[in-house]
Amino acid sequence: VRVAVVAVGDELLLGDVVNTNLAWLGETLAAAGLPVVLGVEVGDDVDPIVAAVRTAFEAADAVVVSGGLGPTSDDRTLLALQQLAPRWTELPNPVGTAPGVRTDVAGRPLFAVPGVPGELRRMVTDHVVPWLRDRAGAPPALVTRQLRVAVLGEPEVAARLAPLEADLPDGVRLAYLAGTAEIRVRLSGTDPATVRAAWDRAAALLGDVVAAADDESLAARVLGLLAARSTDLAVAESLTGGLLAATLVDVPGASTVFRGGVVAYATPAKHALLGVDPELLARVGPVDAEVARQMALGARSAFGAGVGVATTGVAGPDPQDGVAPGTVHVAVVGPGLHSAVGSLSLAGGRSQIRAQTVAHALDLLRRALG
């Protein structure tokens, strides 16, 4: 059973609301063996909704309409359904006011569910998925495995995986999902053993650039490695301005390992709060590998932590004291670790450079602990 999704709402077309319902439906239905093959957005008007549903049935065996079911005058989905199907079954909505609808259009199933994400999820899980899986003869679920790489570009990742791509097992799909600070390699298919074997091969080909697996973030991985060593962590940040600390704190349970951080943005603060040698700062300026290393040492002693990590660099868009944007140094210090400094030349705008700096700092720490 191939599914098409029609998301109704002027707010989607105006950009006021991001269509998270489509993303959730795509992931959830694919996992249930019911792939979404088309997703469209349409405004709150009867004729366009009718036309969108008809188009959706050209591409799919079943259609899910989201939104526009409420009682207010801007909710037109039911008026559109009246033109498409003579009668329907109401689906109870235990978490909201507007019930959903199930009906047949020319012998094929159509579901309409409320646009409020919590209501949609509940009704799709309770009604749509079981009904469609039953109708489809319980198709095999889709298995998805991921590998996350923090510090390589997409072409380099693809080059390493070329041998796998050259003879990818039947029924396995390989995709590259590039974000600002990581590339996810996704392997999916319906046979768990085949997907697992392809994933193992990808992991071996990528080797030590694999930062984390599946749904684990790099920050979570690093905190886990620190916990396994029974040590703890403090950070000192310049250009990332707290983003490194915030990324760590995003991980539930971070408090068992993460002690805190110092944002030492101005050059004198790097000396006053972190004990960076003032003569060094005067001689080389704040964007320097040795400054990064001393900042990491300063963070360690400020918090009495086992491991210190630091970031310094130029986020841009303008050069700073003649140093180009994207010039970044990250450092890791700690007993029993190779004290490590990464000197980088990053591309992108200010927020990308800051996000990539966080990824590089965490990945340097991962390797130092590995």
Residues that bind Mg ion (CB under 5 A): 9, 67-68
Q: Is the torsion defined by CA of 22, 24, 30, 32 positive or negative? A: negative
Q: Is the Cβ–Cβ distance between 93 and 73 less than 8 Å?
A: no
Q: DSSP readout, 323-347?
A: BPTTEEEEEEE-TTS--EEEEEE--
Q: Is the Cβ–Cβ distance between 30 and 89 less than 8 Å?
A: no
The one segment of 9-17, 139-147, 187-195, 247-255 that binds ligand ATP by CB under 6 A: 9-17
Which of 56, 66, 148, 359 lies at the binding interface for ligand ATP (CB under 6 A)?
A: 66
Angle at 149 between CA 145 and CA 150, to 5 degrees: 140
Show the binding pattern over residues 94-123: x = contacts ligand ATP (CB under 6 A), - = does not: --xxx---------------xxxx-x----
Is the CB of 66 or the CB of 188 nearer to ligand ATP?
A: 66
143 binds ligand ATP (CB under 6 A): no
17 binds ligand ATP (CB under 6 A): yes
* Of 219, 145, 225, nearest in space to 181 by CA: 219
Q: Using CB atoms within 10 A of its CB, is residue 347 exposed (0-12), middle (13-18) or buried (19+)?
A: exposed
The one segment of 3-11, 141-149, 297-305, 351-359 that binds ligand ATP by CB under 6 A: 3-11
Q: Is the torsion defined by CA of 196, 202, 207, 210 positive or negative? A: negative
Which of 1, 3, 6, 21 lies at the binding interface for ligand ATP (CB under 6 A)?
A: 21
CB of 72 to Mg ion, least distance (A): 8
Which one of Mg ion, ligand ATP, none is in contact with 334 (Cβ closer than 5 to 8 A by kind)? none
4 binds ligand ATP (CB under 6 A): no
Q: DSSP readout, 107-127?
A: TEEEEEE-SSHHHHHHHIIII
68 binds ligand ATP (CB under 6 A): yes
Which one of Mg ion, ligand ATP, none is in contact with 36 (Cβ closer than 5 to 8 A by kind)? none
Angle at 188 between CA 185 and CA 191, to 5 degrees: 145
Which of 33, 39, 67, 342 lies at the binding interface for ligand ATP (CB under 6 A)?
A: 67
Is the CB of 98 or the CB of 149 nearer to ligand ATP?
A: 98
Q: Which chain residues interact with ligand ATP by CB under 6 A?
A: 7, 9, 11-12, 17, 19-21, 66-70, 75, 96-98, 114-117, 119
